[in-house]
Amino acid sequence: MKILFVGDIVGRPGRDALEGLLPGLRAELGIDVCIANGENVADGIGITPRLADHLLRSGVDAITLGNHTWRRDGIADYLASSTQVVRPANLSATTPGRGLAIVESADGTPVAVVNVLGSLWLEPAGSMWEVIDGLVEEARRSTPVVVVDVHAEATSEKIALSTWLDGRVTAVVGTHTHVQTSDGRVLAGGTAAITDVGMTGPHDSVLGVVSELAIRRMRTGMPVRFETASGGVRLEGAVITCDPETGRATAIEAVRLPWP
C-alpha cells in the first residue's frame, strides 16, 4: 500500500499545485490514499469549510491541521461533523473536532490519521505525550495502518515521537516548519519517519510569505500584514510504502515537484 502525505499547502499557489499535480501523481506512483496538511490553505493562515471540501474533491482523502486551526469562520462547526478533517488532538477538549479519523484507501482498506501539536512555541492545551498512546490504541482497534502528523516546531520533539511510536504506527510525519528534511527513514520497528515533509506552495519566500514583508516584521518588530508569495511553487511531501496487513512500513521517499 502506498500513502502520499502532502506537506503544508500554502494559499492559492499551494492549492493550484496540489490540484494540478495530484491526479497524475496518484496514477503514476499508484497512490492508495492521500493525506495533506491543510492548516495554511486559506491565504496562508487557517482553513475554511469551502476550502476543506475543495481539497477533498481534488483527491485528498484526509486533512490534518495545526496551530492555525481556529483562524477562520465556520471551521469549528465544520470540524464537529467532519469524518475526514482532523485537528490536533491536544487542543482544548472543550472545542469541536477530533485528532483521529479513519478514512478508506482506494481498495477500501481503513487508514487511521492522527494529528498532534508539539509544545515549543505552539502552546497546545495539553502535552501530546498525554494523548498519543490512547489515540494510537484506539486507531489500532480499527486498522494496523496508522499515520501520525506531528505538527511541531522542534526537530527534537518530532524525532522523539517517532522513536516512541516505532513499531506501533506506520508513519510519523512532521509538519509545520515548511522546510523538507532529508532524514526520511524506516525505524527498526517498522515505522517510517521524516522530521518535516516540507511545503506545498511558493518557495521564493520566507516559509510561504512574501519575503520583503516577513523581513520587515523581523527587522522592525512592528506589525506587518503578511501576504502569500507566488514564485518557486513546489509540491512537497513523502510517499510511504507499507504492508496493509501489518501496518509496517518498508520505505519512505521524499517528494519535491515543481509547478507548473
Active site (annotated) includes residue 68 = yes
Position among 15, 176, 178, 234 found at the interface with Fe ion (CB under 5 A) = 176
Nearer to Fe ion, 38 or 190 (CB): 38
Tell me: does residue 88 bind Fe ion (CB under 5 A).
Answer: no
Q: Is 87 in the site for Fe ion (CB under 5 A)?
A: no
Taking CB under 5 A as the rule, does residue 44 contact Fe ion?
no
Q: Which is nearer to Fe ion, 67 or 191 (CB)?
A: 67
Asked if residue 66 binds Fe ion (CB under 5 A), the reply is yes
Residue 2: all three cell numbers together: 502506498
Taking the least distance from each CB to Fe ion, the nearer of 37 and 105 is: 37
Please pick, from the candidates 37, 64, 67, 115, the single residue that binds Fe ion as defined by CB under 5 A. 67
Q: Does 2 bind Fe ion (CB under 5 A)?
A: no
Catalytic residue among 54, 68, 151, 176: 68
- Number of shown-chain residues binding Fe ion (CB under 5 A): 3
Q: Which residues are catalytic?
A: 68
> Which residues contribute to the site for Fe ion (CB under 5 A)?
66-67, 176
